[in-house]
Amino acid sequence: MLLETINDILEDFQVTLDVVRNEITDVSPRVNLIMRRMANQAPVGGAIPINRLKIPKLKPFCGARDTKILENLIFDLEQHFKATNTIAKEAKVTLVMIHLLLELYPKTHSL
């Protein structure tokens, strides 16, 4: 009786193991394809090698209170984010703050 129960459990385990092996066999090519695609893409939020991409330089804002100049600044920043593959909002805010501080610093501090 105990031997039959153990054999039944062993059979069930082998069937379950076969199902898992088949699923791994089915999923493995898809995982390999995804890994190859990810390797061909630029890292999210990371840097793109400079030799592959010319990053547009941001034009100075000059502190003017013209809406067109402000719209151009925002457009330039958006293009910069696309070129550098910057996706995270935190990184975008940080870069905008740095850009604006660099624009304002020379005007408020004489060297």
Question: What was the pLDDT predicted at 84?
Answer: 78
Q: How many domains does the chain have?
A: 2
Same domain? For 74 and 35 the reply is no
Domain that holds residue 94: 50-108
In angstroms, the CA 45 to CA 84 distance is 8
Same domain? For 80 and 54 the reply is yes
Same domain? For 37 and 57 the reply is no
In angstroms, the CA 52 to CA 84 distance is 11
Same domain? For 92 and 56 the reply is yes
Per-residue pLDDT of 46-103, as tens digits, reads: 554 545 545 556 666 565 566 777 787 788 888 888 887 778 888 888 888 877 777 7
Q: Which of 59, 75, 79 is nearest to 67 (CA)?
A: 75
Cα 111-77-92 angle, rounded to 5 deg: 90
In angstroms, the CA 34 to CA 55 distance is 28
